[in-house]
Amino acid sequence: MMPIPMTTSSAKTMVKVHPFLTVRDLHITFAVENGGLQALQGVNFQVAPQEFVCVIGPSGSGKSTLLRVIAGVLQPSRGEVQFSYEGDREVKIGYVFQQANLMPWRTVVENITLPLELHQVPVEEARRKAMELIELVGLEGFEQTWVQELSGGMAQRVAIARALIQDPDLLLLDEPFGALDALMREQMGAELLRIWQARRTTVLMVTHSISEALLLSDRVLVLSARPGRISYDFPVQLPRPRQEALRYTPEFAHMSQQLRAEILPD
């Protein structure tokens, strides 16, 4: 396989190599009262460095389970998750959940600096990084706002900034815009694209929306109904940068139909 262009991180010399993430023969069986519940069955895929991949599939197909295994918070029953890069440190993963899960007794900036505080990063440095991210996610002026005063979209921006503050190698997003109304969702999608284009972090994002997946990603992985396995690996061959207007083109409609047929075969 041809290596794709290499990038080095500024923090510590780390050369990313292709592929960045390999998920191999992943099986997850949960112990439940009357035996085992198989959530994932033989999931295989790879993600290249800086790729934006969406995961789509019916409710209960194991999308959140897949992210939890990749994040290392759940052990696979069989198979493995492997990160390949040159360097001697742990892979850094940013995780955004469907609900923003912010700390209500902290302000916007204090929520964003939290992961760095937990790693004993000096306060000044943490603040400086948080301010950069506040600008990136468009929350200037809200630094000192209590998070319970934020709208759903603003809270999700805080969650994204918090996930980005450790310069993650991989950003995992689990239906991050699921709780938002349609217009806010479009706006946040565009925002995420802008952030990804600026940062070039590898992204794996779960969504229920076919159009969101097509507008944002390089590839869409379709998970089958439980037990989840990848039934289709759909390349999104649309040029970048992508604008909202792309949604209304015949090409986009055609791809939406194709992807829909893969998700809901009749």
Ligand X SMILES: Nc1ncnc2c1ncn2[C@@H]1O[C@H](COP(=O)(O)OP(=O)(O)OP(=O)(O)O)[C@@H](O)[C@H]1O
Q: Note the residues at the interface with ligand X (CB under 6 A).
A: 30, 32, 37, 39, 57, 59-65, 226
Give the number of other CB atoms < 10 A from CB of residue 114.
Answer: 17
- Per the DSSP assignment, residues forming a β-bridge with 36 are 31
Cβ at position 64, least distance to ligand X in Å: 3
Residue 32 vs 245, nearer CB to ligand X: 32
**Shortest Cβ 176–Mg ion spacing (Å):** 12
65 binds, among ligand X, Mg ion, none (CB under 5 to 8 A by kind): ligand X
- 45 - beta bridge partners? 23
- Residue 101: half-sphere exposure toward Cβ, Cα within 13 Å: 12
Single-letter amino acid code for the residue at 22: T
x/- contact string, 30-49, with Mg ion (CB under 5 A)?
A: --------------------
Q: How far apart are CA 127 and CA 77, in angstroms?
A: 40
Q: Which helix (H) or strand (E) holds 66?
A: helix 63-71
Q: What are phi and psi of 173, to 5 degrees?
A: -125, 120
Phi, psi of 247 (to 5 degrees): -55, -25
Q: Which does 113 bind (CB under 5 to 8 A by kind): Mg ion, ligand X, none?
A: none
* Identity of the residue, 33 or 124, whose beta carbon is nearer to ligand X in the bound complex: 33
Cβ neighbours around 186 below 10 Å, total: 18
Nearest approach in angstroms of CB 115 to Mg ion is 22
Cis peptide before 241 (omega within 30 of 0): yes
83: nearest Cα among 202, 217, 165, 228: 202
Among 64, 209, 211, 217, binds Mg ion (CB under 5 A): 64
| From the list Mg ion, ligand X, none, partner contacted by residue 207 (C-beta under 5 to 8 A by kind) | none
Q: Based on CB atoms, which residue is closest to Mg ion, 37 or 131?
A: 37
64 versus 209: smaller Cβ distance to Mg ion: 64
C-beta closer to ligand X: residue 61 or 156: 61
For the CB of residue 58, give the shortest distance to ligand X in the complex, in Å: 7
Q: Which stretch binds Mg ion (CB under 5 A): 19-27, 32-40, 47-55, 58-66?
A: 58-66
Which residues are near Mg ion by CB under 5 A?
A: 63-64
